[in-house]
């Protein structure tokens, strides 16, 4: 009997991975106690993560065919989608665990709402990565985006949070407008809006199809906070709570990057689209690396610095995608995983250590040694130090880029690493070689719980760097069906 239920759950794993956080959100809203609400939220997110991870193991390691069941709304999990769903659901669960102090810090009235919004955001992003139709992708992503905006509104300092939320809302509107216009152009050119049809469509107007795909991707690029289109990230992150920072800075940005990779993976199969798309993504990626790195060097707030560093790393992901080859898509997946792990370590450690401005980072290793370790590993991975997952991601990009003669991409990644030596090296120097001068933010008991995700992310950063076989196999399997040599 239980085996039958298990088989049924496996058959509908994509749907359950989406529904688990959404149902958890509904349950969290019904419970007034912040602690119980948080516990239910964590459990539902963990259940979703477990199901998505099991699906990824079956599809990417055991080479099973992804389930393709009509679920009322059509889901069509491909390799990149399955990889993305697993990563996003795990990040959502970890963000919920690390967000424990946020829910405590906020008034008890709003804490269940914040947890529900975080779960809505996670569920929405997962749905977007598994959806078979571009309209559904857009709707699911918009749900997630608006939930993230709501989460930011509930963050600690009302005025600053509202300012950040307003900018996010504007960015979301711009992104949506671009995406909707793009969808209209694709529909007009090919008459089909399914994701898989991007690779097959016999467009009546290839030019319109190419522009349409470009506009759709531009919408996601705005939402991924990729410089110079990420005008919203500075104000959004500077006063965000830990939960909001994790949901936007890790779950949101990783999801947007995964969507870009997924849509581009299908679109590159069209010869009319591939060349221009590659050029545009490469240009934006290179620009993002430069702008994000410079902004990170100048940042004086740890969350801002991490956000700008993330934007620079996201530029690297776009470079990978721009290659348009299976190796490039696999590199993009590895890079995005590296970005997620580093950001989780940094944001969660900042929360656990009560770090806000860089001045409050001084002496962190003495007063909170484990948080200091997490900051250090997050920083060295951003630098791309060997034996971390950050190095692995860059190596895969460089390997793929050199394979097609994109030597300038090697230069761009070298610049990114050099800039990271300055901004991430500063984090290590402040945490380990300075004495505390400014009192950190007051904390409750939640920092102990918050340390767990920070340390888990640190362990992942190093363990995968040392033994990357499983991740590389999954990324290669996810990307193997996509792309053509540019």
Partner 1 sequence: MTPELALIGVLAAPLTQAVLVLMLARPPGLRDVMHVSLSLFTAVCAARLVEAAADGEIVRVVLARPLPNVDLALSVEPLGALIAAVAGGLGVLHAVHTVGLVRASHEPAPARMMAFLALASAAAMAVAFSANLFTMFVANQALTLAVFPLVAHRGDEESRKAARVFLGVLLAASVGLFLPAMVWTYALVGALDFQAGGMLAGRVDTLTANILLTLFVLGLAMAAVPPLQRWLPASSVAPHPALVTIQGVAVLPAGGVGVIKVAAFVFGPALHDAAFAARGLIVLAGLGMCAAAVIALSRQNLRERLGYSCIAQSLAVVMGALLALPAGLFAAALQIVAVACAATTLTMALGTVSVLTARENAADFAGLGRAMPWTFAAFALASASMIGMPPFSGAWAKLWLITASAGAGLLWAAALAGLAAVLTFAHLGPLAANALAGEAPQNPFVRADGASIALVAPVVLSGAATLWLLLVADPLASFLSPVWTPP
Gap between the Cα atoms of 405 and 323, Å rounded: 10
Listed in sequence order, the residues at least 6 apart from 412 whose beta carbon sits closer than 8 Å to its beta carbon are: 285, 286, 289, 290, 315, 316, 319
The residue written with tokens 């139709």 in the block is: 133
Are 412 and 453 in contact, with CB atoms under 8 Å apart?
no
Gap between the Cα atoms of 156 and 45, Å rounded: 23
Q: How far is the CB of 477 from partner 1 (least distance, A)?
A: 14
Q: How far is the CB of 467 from partner 1 (least distance, A)?
A: 7
Q: How far is the CB of 141 from partner 1 (least distance, A)?
A: 34
Count of residues making up the chain: 486
Would you say 449 or 462 has its CB closer to partner 1? 462
Are 172 and 135 in contact, with CB atoms under 8 Å apart?
no
Q: How far is the CB of 462 from partner 1 (least distance, A)?
A: 10
Would you say 251 or 392 has its CB closer to partner 1? 392
Q: How far is the CB of 5 from partner 1 (least distance, A)?
A: 40
CB-CB neighbours of 355 under 10 Å: 27
Q: How far is the CB of 415 from partner 1 (least distance, A)?
A: 8
DSSP codes joined into one string, 255-307:
HHHHHHHHHHHHHTTSHHHHHHHHHHHHHHHHHHHHHHHHHHHH--BHHHHHH
Would you say 34 or 465 has its CB closer to partner 1? 465
Would you say 36 or 407 has its CB closer to partner 1? 407
Q: How far is the CB of 425 from partner 1 (least distance, A)?
A: 6
Helix (H, G, I), strand (E, B) or coil at 105: helix
The C-alpha torsion from 461 through 463 and 468 to 472, rounded to 10°, is -50
Would you say 216 or 460 has its CB closer to partner 1? 460
DSSP alpha helices (H): ranges in 57-153? Answer: 79-98, 100-105, 111-130, 134-153
Q: How far is the CB of 466 from partner 1 (least distance, A)?
A: 5
Would you say 110 or 432 has its CB closer to partner 1? 432
Q: How far is the CB of 380 from partner 1 (least distance, A)?
A: 8
Are 15 and 75 in contact, with CB atoms under 8 Å apart?
yes
Would you say 255 or 388 has its CB closer to partner 1? 388
Would you say 368 or 385 has its CB closer to partner 1? 385
Would you say 275 or 411 has its CB closer to partner 1? 411
Mind spelling out the 3-state secondary structure of 317-362?
Answer: HHHHHHHCCHHHHHHHHHHHHHHHHHHHHHHHHHHHHCCCEHHHHC
Q: Which sign, positive or negative, has the C-alpha torsion 41, 17, 86, 50?
A: positive
Would you say 173 or 418 has its CB closer to partner 1? 418
Residues of this chain that interact with partner 1 (CB under 8 A) are 383-387, 391-392, 395, 398-399, 402-403, 410-411, 414, 417-418, 421-422, 425, 429, 432-435, 465-469, 472
Q: How far is the CB of 388 from partner 1 (least distance, A)?
A: 9
């Amino acid at each position: 009997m239980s085996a039958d239920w298990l088989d049924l759950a496996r058959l509908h794993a994509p749907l359950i991975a989406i529904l688990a956080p959404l149902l958890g959100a509904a349950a969290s809203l019904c419970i007034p106690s912040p602690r119980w609400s948080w516990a239910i939220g964590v459990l539902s997110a963990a259940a979703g993560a477990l199901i998505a991870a099991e699906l990824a193991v079956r599809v990417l390691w055991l080479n099973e065919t992804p389930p393709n069941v009509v679920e009322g709304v059509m889901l069509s999990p491909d390799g990149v989608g399955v990889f993305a769903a697993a990563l996003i659901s795990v990040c959502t669960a970890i963000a919920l665990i690390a967000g424990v102090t946020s829910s405590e810090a906020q008034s008890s009235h709003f804490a269940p709402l914040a947890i529900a919004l975080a779960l809505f955001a996670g569920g929405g992003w997962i749905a977007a990565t598994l959806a078979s139709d571009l309209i559904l992708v857009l709707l699911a992503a918009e749900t997630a985006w608006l939930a993230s905006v709501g989460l930011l509104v509930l963050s600690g300092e009302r005025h600053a949070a509202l300012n950040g939320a307003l900018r996010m809302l504007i960015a979301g509107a711009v992104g949506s407008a671009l995406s909707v216009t793009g969808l209209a152009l694709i529909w007009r050119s090919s008459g089909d809006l399914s994701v898989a049809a991007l690779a097959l469509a016999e467009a009546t107007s290839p030019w319109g199809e190419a522009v349409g795909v470009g506009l759709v991707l531009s919408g996601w690029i705005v939402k991924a906070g990729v410089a110079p289109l990420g005008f919203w990230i500075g104000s959004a992150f500077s006063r965000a709570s830990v939960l909001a920072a994790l949901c936007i800075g890790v779950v949101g940005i990783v999801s947007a990057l995964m969507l870009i990779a997924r849509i581009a993976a299908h679109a590159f199969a069209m010869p009319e689209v591939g060349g221009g798309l590659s050029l545009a993504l490469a240009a934006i990626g290179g620009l993002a690396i430069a702008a994000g790195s410079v902004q990170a060097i100048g940042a004086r707030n740890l969350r801002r610095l991490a956000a700008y560093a993330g934007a620079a790393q996201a530029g690297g992901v776009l470079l990978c995608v721009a290659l348009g080859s299976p190796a490039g898509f696999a590199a993009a997946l590895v890079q995005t995983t590296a970005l997620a792990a580093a950001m989780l370590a940094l944001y969660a450690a900042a929360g656990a250590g009560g770090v806000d401005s860089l001045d409050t980072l001084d002496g962190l290793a003495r007063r909170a040694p484990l948080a200091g370790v997490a900051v250090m590993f997050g920083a060295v991975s951003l630098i791309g130090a060997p034996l971390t997952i950050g190095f692995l991601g860059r190596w895969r990009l460089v390997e793929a880029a050199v394979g097609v003669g994109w030597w300038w991409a090697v230069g761009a990644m070298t610049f990114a690493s050099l800039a990271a030596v300055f901004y991430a090296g500063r984090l290590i120097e402040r945490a380990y070689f300075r004495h505390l001068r400014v009192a950190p933010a007051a904390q409750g008991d939640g920092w102990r719980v918050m340390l767990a995700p920070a340390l888990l992310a640190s362990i992942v950063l190093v363990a995968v760097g040392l033994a990357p076989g499983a991740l590389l196999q999954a990324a290669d399997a996810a990307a193997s069906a996509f792309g053509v040599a540019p």
